[in-house]
Structure 1
Amino acid sequence: MRSSVVTAVALAGAATASVECARGLHIIVARGSNEAAGTGITGSLADRIAKRIPGTTIAALDYPATITDPTYFESVADGGDEMRDVVQEYVDACPGAKVAVMGYSQGAQVTADAFCGDVTTSGFGDEDGLPYKLVDDPVVAIVLFGDPSHVANATYNRGTANSDGLFPRRDQDECEKLGARLVSYCDEGDEYCDLSGPRDYDVHGEYVDKYGDEIVDFVVDRFQSVAKGMDASTTVATPTPTPTPTSGGGSGNGDEATGTGESGTKETGDGGDSAAAAVLPSLGFVALLGMAML
């Protein structure tokens, strides 16, 4: 499985010439376990952000997002490598670019590993995170939801959880260095990011519905804080009222994906309303496997 990462790295130089540099914000989304290829459950938030920041592009991270084939551990390691590669490639190809990253569930751990280093339970690798000097200017926001590598009491934590996750980070210093650009949402009862107390199996799929408005405002505000130094063509649009969420039967999908629209270009689709259904039961195997390893 690692050979596929080597191949991707080898091709990175050739791919750089084809990178499309966004006039506004470039959003990278890492889906959760067993979601269909695309932006998954978090895609609706990326679409809403794109409506408020003209010239935004959205890209789904291309990684396995699997539990068993390859294993969760291999999938997370491959995803971390891919995230490092695509961020480095984009920043190199697009001087002055602004980037936001969102990761859900397994995608949250992948994102945390890419920026903070692989410092969780053994089995995920030992790669360093992206250099802070590379991240400091271009990366304006990093948002994690239901991260299995969640650590209690970190300054960047949001939500109601007060305990560690399934695969807690041994050292969150590198995450702390990311400052105000990083937020990690974990609520009490989430069986993957909060291991204390009774389990509520719906919690893991509710972040987009519960915190969607807050996250959209957070990312847009972070972009606006640096937009004055960008070209005039990237001027942020006046915020519009938040779309009314569609009913999803508890799917956790904040509102239906809106496609490209006039203000943003969506490069890949999301997993649809069934996205959370893929995320929720799939990690049960990981919970059992992780408990056996800890």
Structure 2
Amino acid sequence: MQVLRSLAVACSLAAGLVSSQTSNTQCVKGLKIFVSRGTGEPLVDALNKDTTLISETGLGNNTRGLGETGKLLMPVFDKIPDSNYTAILYTASNGRRGTNESNYFESVFNGTAMVRKAMTDYATACPSGKMAWIGYSQGAQIISNSLCGMPVIWAQFMPNPSIPEMISFSQPLPANVTKNVIATLLLGDPSHKNGTNYNYGSHNLTGDGVFYRGDTSACEALGKRIRSYCDAGDVYCDVGPAYSDAHVRYVKDRKEELVNYIVEQWNNGGETGEVSKTKTTTRSGASPSTTEDASSKAHGLSSTSILAIIMSVVLVVLI
């Protein structure tokens, strides 16, 4: 029975995955989950005979572009009927020597562009459709870039970048696009910043991410609709003296918690818990902090952003 159920779900999800990467967006009655894998995770798991992943997702051979986070999908689908997923099919590369892969910075820029397009396309085609976003490692960074805004220094990897395009990418996606994102999971995000109201994970973090984010106000404004998990010892999201296998253990150690978060957000209609000028509530693994009105800070360019754009233009000219 389990095999038949998994096969049926896999067949129905296959159409959603294929169509979602074209210009035709299919709306679903349930929850649309977008997944972006981490650096080095293969694009075509099934063709690479990753039988462990295939069996653990319960999705048959339909595991293209999922990575480790694919293991969260079936438990969510069991509790939220009429749902499916889309994998962001970006390179997730690190430009290792002796390969033709794009470097990490190009991969992040291109992945961010794909996330922004996918989120905008679904919000436009399905104005009442609910979305959840799950990203691991580099895949988490391209999601947070879209929801929080991409630091403009990365815009040098745009093809023929212009200042208007750089300004656009430096800003978080507008509320009319993100309003129906009911849940976001960032796992081991290299742009993690400690002390924000959406941090979860270890209480004993020793540092920020490798590419930590300077302005987190747009993501903080999402309130309960976003969680960033970073555990101590993860050298990508928690730069510090100690190394452990923390970076690869998020799904293994927290699978039930991660699934429950998405399901709870669906059941409560995507509760926002948006921040205000008052002190934020301490959460599991989060440090209490006092924030300004994040919604007002999420819009417009600061003088620092303008300077960064000018520096990016200079870099483009010099490179």
| TM, length-normalised to structure 1 | 0.69
* Number of corresponding residues: 211
User: Shift of residue 34 of structure 1?
Assistant: 1.3
Corresponding position: 1:19 with 2:25: yes
User: Shift of residue 78 of structure 1?
Assistant: 0.5
Greater C-alpha radius of gyration: 2
State the match for 2:149 in structure 1: 117
Corresponding position: 1:163 with 2:207: yes
Residue of 150, 174, 180 corresponding to 2:224: 180
CA root-mean-square deviation: 1.8
Aligned residue type for 2:197: T
Q: Partners of 2:22 and 2:107 in 1: how far apart?
A: 22
What is the percentage of aligned positions where both structures have the same residue?
A: 37
Q: Using CA pairs under 8 Å that are at least 6 residues apart, name the structure with larger relative contact order, 1 or 2.
A: 1
User: Shift of residue 15 of structure 1?
Assistant: 4.3
Aligned residue type for 1:139: V
Contact 2:33 2:132 in 1 (8 A): yes
Q: Partners of 2:155 and 2:139 in 1: how far apart?
A: 14
Corresponding position: 1:76 with 2:108: yes
Residue of 120, 123, 137 corresponding to 1:88: 120
Q: Partners of 2:110 and 2:178 in 1: how far apart?
A: 20
State the match for 2:239 in structure 1: 195
Per-residue CA deviation, residues 41-66 of structure 1 (Å, 9 max, x unaligned), is 00010221111100011110021101
| TM, length-normalised to structure 2 | 0.63
Q: Partners of 1:124 and 1:213 in 2: how far apart?
A: 37
Contact 2:190 2:209 in 1 (8 A): yes
Per-residue CA deviation, residues 113-168 of structure 1 (Å, 9 max, x unaligned), is 01111128x335551221123212x1100100000001010110001124201000
Runs (4+) of structure 1 exceeding 3 A deviation are: 122-126
Per-residue CA deviation, residues 10-60 of structure 1 (Å, 9 max, x unaligned), is xx9x944x2211110000000001111111000010221111100011110
| Uncovered stretches (5+) of structure 1, i.e. residues with no partner | 1-11, 228-294
After the TM superposition, which residues 247-286 of structure 1 pair with which residues of structure 2 at under 5 Å, given as runs?
Answer: none
User: Shift of residue 96 of structure 1?
Assistant: 0.7
Q: Partners of 1:113 and 1:123 in 2: how far apart?
A: 10
Q: Partners of 1:33 and 1:134 in 2: how far apart?
A: 26
Q: Partners of 1:59 and 1:134 in 2: how far apart?
A: 17
Aligned residue type for 1:204: H
| Uncovered stretches (5+) of structure 2, i.e. residues with no partner | 1-18, 44-64, 96-100, 157-165, 271-319
